């Protein structure tokens, strides 16, 4: 079948980079599969329980970069109890025993232990990059091992992890010979660090492009660091509390002027707003700005800053910016592609919240917008329809109304029509999260129009099984469906059980699904793991199939039920 | 490869809902009847106030009329004033139920999931929370998962919240509801008359709003600006619990509200005065001044010591660190009896002695 020698085909495959394409390529014929698998360097495993480490290693011996995701998405919101699973240890152990020359490990929502970080650091000579997002289970001791042992470490990127900070001197564990750092992000660490060690480390890292420090790093140290690294492209400040009339401030301001390459700015974990102007000079070239952790900055200060940022493509901000602030964003940031507006006061009365007005303004001013995460007080159908018309390019649209079943406050209608307009207009929509008052109708629209939809998050929505069925039937590309507190039951669950093998996972919590329904599903689909999470003590009482299941997580897998289940998780 | 596994489940499902809800109601309100029999919704038992849930696949309208007022839902029977409800129902039944569970009678079989006592949607559940705190403990207990095996597995996230978050609710409820009422009055919701407290209770639902815990925790513990924020309650109010030894319930204060220890101290004095004065009941008759000075003695003097738990989990004496640092590190406070403050004894006793 092959007209070319293997080396030529392999070379051609080098240009095929996306995992999906490579997967497709490997289905063509046996020899292509063979060639592809030996040349594959990057593997993304979207669900660590769908396959075993051994099988991955066996198939891709040339593996250099592994991405793993563990817990289901709703674990981010405390819906998955501690101890559920998602440990990366078996993977590291298997990799360490093999001949794989791992260079990059990226983990999301997994449990990582210090022991396995230590093992990781000692097992792979060429290890270059560790990226941990939303992980937990480790301490700064593990980081110390990575720092000490990975001689060619280029990237250590810790995003929003729960790390037990032993306040040790992990930063000092980077040997003096370590000069290869390109990216260092420890913003999520809560403890003190050795400031002098940080400055020295930056000084000997000429390739450093990304540096995001934590709250323990004061402005003085920031200034010293910037002096050593004017080549930075991505800066995350730590605590930014200083008096604009002080000498430290002038010094910092002067130093910032030298940093002409900064494109991305974040941090401000504590901030004195009157000192923000020091950053105005770099605002002109900023493409990414994240102020979503900056507490208590008034809308007016935010607006002044943003007025400087004409080239912004990504903006993460708190809702204290207000609708007025968003209007300024709309008029200033014409290149905006991604916007996230987080609630500054999630349980409060909502003084500083944004409403549909802000979103409409943004949509009118930023036609390139394709990714949105928006927490707001309220939303109207009219606004959503306008947004859909203005921005037909949405790929990700996540709307969260703080009061999850709130109807359109003007018409008191459900938001079906609004979301319907979004899915109809945005033909490239891949991810959608909805909130507000929603009936089965919105799901009908989704099923009909959202052809590219891969991930859907539903909460407190729908009236009947029909809703879920519309989605399951209509969205051919659905991969992840997560539902909470909605009245979907066995009828919807069991209508087309084969569908779940075409998806990565299904999560249903506080719905109408019964134990009997789950059992039926499990019985008919051996290729799925049907896991029930039971947090109550009355396990003994649960013999009755009629009982509703509190939390159900279904995912396709090639390796059967997992062995590391805690006692509150059952696989049916 | 769609397999119509629906039919098998369906029949059972229906009766399941019936049995579940009726047994629910039976359990909770009519202790006499001990078996969980399938009930005819229309045929009410001896306990006339009992009724099954608003399961509507039997004659919906009638059930709405009779049963609405007395149904046992996630909340408590009578937790909303029944008269108001039934009147409203007559008029606005469609509107009421439509958003969450359309109680259209004679829906097709798929509608069986419409209602059971458990699954009622967010706002209903939230209202029940707020009402719940006024209900008697007896009924509260009946709602807990334990007595009824049928409820074993499916407690509903909301119900879980009721159990696990009641203490939280107690603290938040009084001040919050006061604040929320005017605000909430604008937000009329179609299905419930007593939605006034809904905004106050939105904090109670697990995992809502959907923000990563890391971010939520950061917002909660973040320190405020060094510079002054203008008077109104800006974003990120810093509420911490304050307990007092011997008091039946805790309070919450917004640390951002104060700018110095003295202010906090006086506010706490006022807040907890009812307890301390209560202990010295008969003094009430002697007039305010005496009580207040006695109170000052109590709080500033030898009786009580104000302590707080910091980020590391250690119990510290209030007043040692600068105010800003205190707000930043304080997680909760406790007004401790000096006799208990053994660990803090040397300094506390000394301070007390000095004051006295």
Q: Please answer yes or no on whether A534 and B153 come within 8 Å at the CB atom.
A: yes
pLDDT of residue A443: 96
CA B323, CA B320: separation in Å to the nearest integer? 9
Distances (CA, A) of A37 to A16, A33, A34, A237: 13, 6, 5, 42
Min CA distance, B351 vs chain A (Å)? 32
Q: Which residue has the higher pLDDT, B310 or A24?
A: A24
pLDDT of residue B221: 65
Three-state secondary structure call for residue A290 = strand
**A36 and A134 share a domain?**
no
For the ranges A69-83, A89-103, A268-282, B280-294, the lowest mean pLDDT is seen at B280-294
For the ranges A1-15, A42-56, A557-571, B122-136, the lowest mean pLDDT is seen at B122-136
Residue B2 scores a pLDDT above 70: no
Instruction: Locate the chain B residue with the closest alpha carbon to A532.
Output: B153
Tokens, residue A422: 């979004």
The answer to whether the bond into B209 is cis (omega within 30° of 0) is yes
**A5 and A34 share a domain?**
yes
Confidence of residue A352 (pLDDT cuts 50, 70, 90): low
pLDDT of residue B293: 53
Which is nearest to A212 in space by CA: A162, A260, A266? A266
pLDDT of residue B237: 66
A408 lies in a domain? Answer: no
Interface pTM, i.e. ipTM: 0.86
Residue ranges of domains in chain B: 239-276+291-337
CA B188, CA A498: separation in Å to the nearest integer? 43
Residue A13 scores a pLDDT above 80: yes
Average pLDDT, chain A: 92
Confidence of residue B145 (pLDDT cuts 50, 70, 90): very low
* Residue pairs between chains A and B whose CB atoms are closer than 8 Å: 267
- Mean per-residue pLDDT for B189-206? 45
Residue B103 scores a pLDDT above 50: no
Question: Of A159, A175, A208, which one is at a domain's C-terminal end?
Answer: A208
**A128 and A47 share a domain?**
yes
CA A416, CA A385: separation in Å to the nearest integer? 11
Q: Please answer yes or no on whether B237 and A345 come within 8 Å at the CB atom.
A: yes
Q: Which residue has the higher pLDDT, B303 or B187?
A: B303
- With beta carbons less than 8 A apart as the criterion, state whether A518 and A572 touch: yes
**A114 and A139 share a domain?**
yes
pLDDT tens-digit readout, B45-78: 444 443 433 333 434 444 444 445 454 444 444 4
Residue B343 scores a pLDDT above 80: no
A86 in contact with chain B, both atoms CB, cutoff 8 A: no
Closest Cβ–Cβ partner in A269, A351, A485 for B122: A485
Is the overall model pTM greater than 0.95, yes or no?
A: no
DSSP letters spanning B110-137: GGGGS--SS---HHHHHHHHHHHTTS-H
Residue from A512, A519, A542 whose CB has the most chain B CBs within 10 Å, to mutate: A512
Residue B172 scores a pLDDT above 80: no
- With beta carbons less than 8 A apart as the criterion, state whether A490 and A517 touch: yes
Query: Cβ contacts (< 8 Å) between A74 and chain B: which residues?
Result: 207
**A52 and A146 share a domain?**
yes
Element (H or E) spanning A362, and its range? Answer: helix A356-365
Pairing mode of beta strands A155-159, A136-139 = unpaired
Residue B231 scores a pLDDT above 80: no
pLDDT of residue B40: 52
Q: Please answer yes or no on whether A295 and B225 come within 8 Å at the CB atom.
A: yes
Question: Of A189, A208, A227, which one is at a domain's C-terminal end?
Answer: A208
A89 lies in a domain? Answer: yes
- With beta carbons less than 8 A apart as the criterion, state whether A497 and A525 touch: yes
Of the ranges A365-374, B3-12, B295-304, B305-314, the best mean pLDDT one: A365-374
Per the DSSP assignment, residues forming a β-bridge with A164 are: A139
pLDDT of residue B261: 85
pLDDT of residue A23: 92
Q: Please answer yes or no on whether A79 and B207 come within 8 Å at the CB atom.
A: yes
Q: Please answer yes or no on whether B236 and A535 come within 8 Å at the CB atom.
A: no
A523 lies in a domain? Answer: no
Q: Which residue has the higher pLDDT, A321 or B201?
A: A321
Q: Please answer yes or no on whether B121 and A485 come within 8 Å at the CB atom.
A: yes
Closest Cβ–Cβ partner in A160, A402, A544 for B214: A160
- With beta carbons less than 8 A apart as the criterion, state whether A244 and A274 touch: yes
pLDDT of residue B329: 79
What backbone torsions phi and psi does residue A219 show, to the nearest 5 degrees?
-60, -35
pLDDT tens-digit readout, A292-313: 998 778 888 889 999 999 999 9
Confidence of residue B260 (pLDDT cuts 50, 70, 90): confident
Residue B148 scores a pLDDT above 80: no
A476 in contact with chain B, both atoms CB, cutoff 8 A: no
Contacts of B106 (CB under 8 A, 6+ apart): B57, B60
Residue from A164, A489, A556 whose CB has the most chain B CBs within 10 Å, to mutate: A489
pLDDT of residue A542: 60
- With beta carbons less than 8 A apart as the criterion, state whether A336 and A315 touch: yes
pLDDT of residue A66: 97
Enclosing domain of residue A24? 1-40
Measured over the CA atoms of residue A450, residue B107, residue A511 and residue A378, the dihedral's sign is positive
- Per-residue b or e along A374-404, where b marks 16 or more CB atoms closer than 10 Å to that residue's CB: bbbbbbbbbbbbbbbebbbbbbbbbbbbbbb
Confidence of residue A568 (pLDDT cuts 50, 70, 90): confident
Confidence of residue A567 (pLDDT cuts 50, 70, 90): confident
Three-state secondary structure call for residue A260 = coil
Residue B41 scores a pLDDT above 90: no
pLDDT tens-digit readout, A258-282: 999 999 999 998 888 888 999 999 9
The gap from C-alpha A4 to its chain's centroid, in whole angstroms, comes to: 41
A204 lies in a domain? Answer: yes
A206 in contact with chain B, both atoms CB, cutoff 8 A: no
Instruction: Locate the chain B residue with the closest alpha carbon to A464.
Output: B111
CA B48, CA B67: separation in Å to the nearest integer? 10
A58 lies in a domain? Answer: yes
Contacts of B352 (CB under 8 A, 6+ apart): B301, B302, B305, B338
**A196 and A80 share a domain?**
yes
pLDDT of residue A541: 54
Element (H or E) spanning A571, and its range? Answer: strand A569-571
Q: Please answer yes or no on whether B223 and A270 come within 8 Å at the CB atom.
A: yes
For the ranges A111-115, A206-210, B74-78, the lowest mean pLDDT is seen at B74-78
Which is nearest to A93 in space by CA: A66, A117, A59? A117
- Mean per-residue pLDDT for A158-166? 91
- What CATH number has the domain bearing residue A169? 3.80.10
pLDDT of residue B154: 40
For the ranges A210-214, A365-369, A404-408, B73-77, the lowest mean pLDDT is seen at B73-77
Three-state secondary structure call for residue A552 = strand
**A84 and A17 share a domain?**
no
- Mean per-residue pLDDT for B228-251? 67
Q: Which residue has the higher pLDDT, B251 or A208?
A: A208
pLDDT of residue B216: 84
A325 lies in a domain? Answer: no
Query: Cβ contacts (< 8 Å) between A400 and chain B: which residues?
Result: 209-210
**A64 and A142 share a domain?**
yes
Residue B30 scores a pLDDT above 50: no
Number of domains in chain A: 2
Tokens, residue A340: 């996230």
**A89 and A23 share a domain?**
no
Closest Cβ–Cβ partner in A270, A407, A496 for B99: A407
CATH 3.10.20.90 for the B239-276+291-337 domain, yes or no: yes
For the ranges A118-132, A493-507, B89-103, the lowest mean pLDDT is seen at B89-103
- What CATH number has the domain bearing residue A18? 1.20.1280.50
In chain B, alpha helices (H): 6-29, 60-68, 82-97, 122-132, 137-143, 156-186, 198-201, 213-221, 261-279, 288-300, 323-329, 345-355
Confidence of residue B275 (pLDDT cuts 50, 70, 90): low
Instruction: Locate the chain B residue with the closest alpha carbon to A77.
Output: B207
The DSSP symbol for B222 reads P
Of the ranges A391-395, B75-79, B247-251, the best mean pLDDT one: A391-395
pLDDT of residue A440: 95
DSSP letters spanning A451-477: TT--EEEEES--SSHHHHHHHHHH-TT
Measured over the CA atoms of residue B328, residue B311, residue B203 and residue B254, the dihedral's sign is negative
**A172 and A23 share a domain?**
no
**A7 and A67 share a domain?**
no
DSSP letters spanning A371-437: EEEEEES---HHHHHHHHHH-TT-SEEEEEESSTT---TTT---SHHHHHHHHHH-TT--EEE--SS
CA B191, CA B150: separation in Å to the nearest integer? 27
A27 lies in a domain? Answer: yes
The DSSP symbol for A204 reads T
pLDDT of residue B298: 52
pLDDT tens-digit readout, A132-149: 999 999 999 999 999 999
- Mean per-residue pLDDT for A245-266? 93
Per the DSSP assignment, residues forming a β-bridge with A434 are: none
pLDDT of residue A398: 97
**A57 and A197 share a domain?**
yes
pLDDT of residue A1: 54
Residue A468 scores a pLDDT above 50: yes
Q: Please answer yes or no on whether A495 and B2 come within 8 Å at the CB atom.
A: yes
Contacts of A344 (CB under 8 A, 6+ apart): A295, A318, A319, A320, A352, B219, B235, B236
Min CA distance, B342 vs chain A (Å)? 29
CA B53, CA B118: separation in Å to the nearest integer? 9
Query: Cβ contacts (< 8 Å) between B206 and chain A: which residues?
Result: 77-79
């Amino acid at each position: 079948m092959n007209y070319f020698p293997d080396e030529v085909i392999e070379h051609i495959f080098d240009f095929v980079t996306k995992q999906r394409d490579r997967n497709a390529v490997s289905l063509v014929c046996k020899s292509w599969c063979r060639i592809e698998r030996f040349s594959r360097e990057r593997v993304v495993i979207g669900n660590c329980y769908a396959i075993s480490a051994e099988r991955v290693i066996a198939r891709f011996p040339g593996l250099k970069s592994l991405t793993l995701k563990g817990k289901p998405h709703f674990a981010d919101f405390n819906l998955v109890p501690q101890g559920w699973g998602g440990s990366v240890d078996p993977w590291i152990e298997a990799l360490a025993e093999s001949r794989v020359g791992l260079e990059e490990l990226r983990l999301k929502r997994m449990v990582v232990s210090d022991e396995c970080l230590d093992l990781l650091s000692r097992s792979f000579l060429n290890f270059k990059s560790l990226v941990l997002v939303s992980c937990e289970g480790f301490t700064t001791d593990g980081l110390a091992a990575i720092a000490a042992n990975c001689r060619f470490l280029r990237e250590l990127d810790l995003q929003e992890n729960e790390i037990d900070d032993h306040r040790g001197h992990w930063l000092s564990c980077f040997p003096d010979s370590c000069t290869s750092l390109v990216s260092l992000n420890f913003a999520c660490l809560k403890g003190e660090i050795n400031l002098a060690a940080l400055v020295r480390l930056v000084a000997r890292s000429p390739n450093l492009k990304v540096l995001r420090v934590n709250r323990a790093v004061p402005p003085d140290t920031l200034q010293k660091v910037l002096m050593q690294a004017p080549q930075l492209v991505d800066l995350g400040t730590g605590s930014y509390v200083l008096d604009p009339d002080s000498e430290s401030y002038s010094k910092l301001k002067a130093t910032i002027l030298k940093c002409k390459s900064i494109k991305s700015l974040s941090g401000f974990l504590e901030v004195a707003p009157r000192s923000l102007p020091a950053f105005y000079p770099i605002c002109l070239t900023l493409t990414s700005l994240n102020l979503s952790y900056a507490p208590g900055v008034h809308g007016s200060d935010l607006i002044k800053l943003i007025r400087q940022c004409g080239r912004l493509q990504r903006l993460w901000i708190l809702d204290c910016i207000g609708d007025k602030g968003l209007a300024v964003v709309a008029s200033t940031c014409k290149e905006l592609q991604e916007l996230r507006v987080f609630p500054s006061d999630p349980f409060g009365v909502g003084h500083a919240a944004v409403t549909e007005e802000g979103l409409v303004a943004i949509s009118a001013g930023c036609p390139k917008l394709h990714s949105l995460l928006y927490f707001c007080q309220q939303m109207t159908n009219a606004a959503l329809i306008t947004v859909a018309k203005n921005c037909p390019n949405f790929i990700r649209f996540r709307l969260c109304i703080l009061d999850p079943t709130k109807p359109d406050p003007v018409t008191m209608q459900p938001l079906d029509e609004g979301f319907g307009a979004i899915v109809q207009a945005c033909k490239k929509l891949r991810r959608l999260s909805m909130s507000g008052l929603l009936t089965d109708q919105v799901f009908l629209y989704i099923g009909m129009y959202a052809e590219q939809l891969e991930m859907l998050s539903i909460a407190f929505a729908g009236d009947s099984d029909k809703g879920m069925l519309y989605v399951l039937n209509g969205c051919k590309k659905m991969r992840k469906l997560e539902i909470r507190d909605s009245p979907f039951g066995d009828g919807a669950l069991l209508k087309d059980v084969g569908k779940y093998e075409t998806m990565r996972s299904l999560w249903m919590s506080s719905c109408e699904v019964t134990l009997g329904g789950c059992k039926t599903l499990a019985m008919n689909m051996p290729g799925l793991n049907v896991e029930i999470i039971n947090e109550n003590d009355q396990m003994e009482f649960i013999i009755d199939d009629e009982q509703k299941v509190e939390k159900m997580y279904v995912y396709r897998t090639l390796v059967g039920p997992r062995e590391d289940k805690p006692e509150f998780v059952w696989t049916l | 490869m769609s397999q119509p596994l629906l039919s098998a489940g369906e029949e059972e499902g229906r009766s399941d809902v019936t049995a579940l809800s009726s047994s629910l109601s039976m359990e909770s309100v009519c202790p006499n009847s001990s078996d969980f029999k399938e009930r005819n919704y229309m045929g009410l038992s001896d306990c006339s106030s009992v009724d099954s849930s608003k399961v509507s696949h039997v004659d919906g309208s009638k059930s709405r009329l009779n049963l609405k007022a007395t149904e046992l839902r996630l909340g408590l029977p009578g937790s909303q004033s029944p008269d108001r409800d039934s009147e409203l129902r007559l008029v606005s039944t469609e509107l009421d139920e439509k958003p969450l569970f359309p109680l259209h009678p004679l829906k097709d079989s798929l509608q069986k999931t419409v209602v059971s006592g458990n699954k009622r949607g967010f706002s209903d559940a939230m209202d029940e929370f707020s009402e719940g705190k006024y209900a008697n403990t007896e009924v509260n207990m009946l709602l807990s998962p334990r007595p009824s095996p049928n409820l074993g597995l499916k407690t509903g996230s909301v119900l879980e919240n009721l159990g696990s978050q009641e203490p939280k609710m107690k603290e938040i409820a009084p001040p919050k509801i006061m604040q929320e009422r005017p605000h909430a009055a604008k937000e009329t919701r179609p299905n419930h008359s007593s939605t006034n407290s809904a905004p106050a209770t939105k904090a109670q639902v697990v995992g809502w709003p959907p923000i990563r815990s890391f971010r939520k925790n950061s917002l909660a513990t973040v320190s405020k600006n060094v510079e002054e924020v203008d008077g109104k309650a800006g974003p990120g109010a810093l509420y911490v619990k304050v307990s007092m030894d011997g008091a039946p319930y805790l309070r919450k204060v917004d640390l951002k509200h104060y700018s110095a220890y003295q202010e906090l101290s006086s506010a706490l004095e006022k807040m907890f005065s009812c307890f301390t004065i209560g202990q010295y009941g008969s003094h009430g008759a002697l007039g305010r001044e005496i009580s207040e000075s006695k109170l000052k003695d109590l709080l500033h003097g030898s009786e009580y010591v104000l302590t707080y738990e910091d980020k590391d989990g250690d119990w510290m004496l209030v007043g040692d660190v600068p105010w800003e640092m205190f707000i930043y590190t304080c997680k909760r406070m406790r007004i401790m009896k000096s006799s208990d403050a053994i660990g803090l004894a040397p300094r506390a006793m000394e301070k007390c002695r000095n004051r006295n």
